[in-house]
Amino acid sequence: MKTSIYPCIWYDGNAEAAAALYCRAFADATRSTCTPLIVTFRIKGRQFMGMNGGPSVRPNPSISFFNICESVEEIEKAWAVLSEDGQVLMPLDQYPWSGKYGWVQDKFGVSWQLMLADAQNTPDVFPSLMFVGEQNGKAKQAIDFYTSLFTNASIEVLARYEPGEGDTPGHIKHARMVLDGLRLGAMESSTQHNFQFNWGVSMVINCNTQEEIDFFWLNLSEGGKESQCGWCQDAFGVWWQVVPSILGSLMTDPEKAPKVMEAFMKMTKFDIEAIKRAAA
């Protein structure tokens, strides 16, 4: 089973402006697709999708993006841009785990953890899940679940809190997994936070066959809930989009896109054959 996975960020009509900000913040960022609904961009070669979904939800720090940078200059440039009209969550400074690190929420609500590369952390950018509130204590269960679903999956790092480290001993301090090429971080916090996972940041799974769609939909929605247009929430609260890989090309075709959208707006789980009939 071969899939591709990448994060989707929900914006209130300003996905293009957000992509422009990231291209200014990161020298290795580029924009590609730009439609009224969808903007795609890459940072360090990693794909992102921005969706102009409207004002109903906003990203929050429950899913942030680690950007491991090659130099202090790279971090400082990104920090200066991302903090414009944003909010500093942890100041840019030296910490026990990094010679240079900071956590900032940009003006669009997207959270970034910037860290200097070292022997254990090579340059990359990837989403990181923060399990808080009712999900606190479930990170290891989620890691095991996610890595069981994907053919090419592994756990790279799994560090737990020790007594005296400021959180619940045994909970996940920092973990990192790889799901079909997507690096995904995880951490837990017993501190009270005013956020939980929402669809402000979701994970998109591009599937080549109906069998793949059925498999991921069944497993990810079990214990969670189904929603429209291929969206589902898993048992841990994380939102996923299980979509056919042909959808991207169809939605950028000005003639086919309206018919395809009309068809899938009536769906919960995607039906590839029905999508193809609508596009014909």
- Return the H-helix or E-strand segment holding 120: none
Kindly report whether the global pTM for this prediction surpasses the value 0.85.
yes
Dist. CA 62–CA 9, nearest whole Å: 13
Q: Where are the alpha helices (DSSP H) in the chain?
A: 15-25, 72-82, 139-149, 210-221, 247-251, 257-264, 272-279
Q: Which residues pair with 244 in a beta bridge?
A: 207
The residues, any chain, with a CB within 8 Å of residue 37's CB and separated by 6 or more, are 51, 52, 251
Look at residue 1 and tell me whether its pLDDT is greater than 60. no
Q: Which CATH architecture has domain 208-279?
A: Roll (3.10)
Dist. CA 215–CA 88, nearest whole Å: 40
Classify domain 4-188 by CATH number.
3.10.180.10
Dist. CA 150–CA 71, nearest whole Å: 33
Contact 183, 153 (CB under 8 A): no
The residues, any chain, with a CB within 8 Å of residue 75's CB and separated by 6 or more, are 69, 92, 100, 102, 114, 115, 116
Kindly state the average pLDDT of the residues 225-237: 97
DSSP symbols for 146-215: HHHHSSSEEEEEEEEPPTTSSS-TTSEEEEEEEETTEEEEEEE--S--S----TTEEEEEEESSHHHHHH
* pLDDT per residue as tens digits for the range 111-140: 999 999 998 889 999 999 999 999 999 999
Give me the residue spans of the domains in the chain: 4-188, 208-279
Residues listed for the chain: 280
Q: Which residues pair with 157 in a beta bridge?
A: 176
Q: Tell me the Ramachandran region of residue 225: left when phi exceeds 0, alpha when psi lies from -120 to 50, beta otherwise.
A: beta
Q: What pLDDT band is residue 2 in, cutting at 50, 70 and 90?
A: low
* pLDDT per residue as tens digits for the range 52-91: 999 999 999 999 999 999 999 999 999 999 999 999 999 9
Kindly state the average pLDDT of the residues 209-231: 96
Kindly state the average pLDDT of the residues 92-110: 96
- Residue 33's pLDDT is 84
Kindly state the average pLDDT of the residues 148-167: 95
Q: What pLDDT band is residue 207 in, cutting at 50, 70 and 90?
A: very high
Q: Do 4-188 and 208-279 fold alike per CATH?
A: yes
Contact 60, 67 (CB under 8 A): no
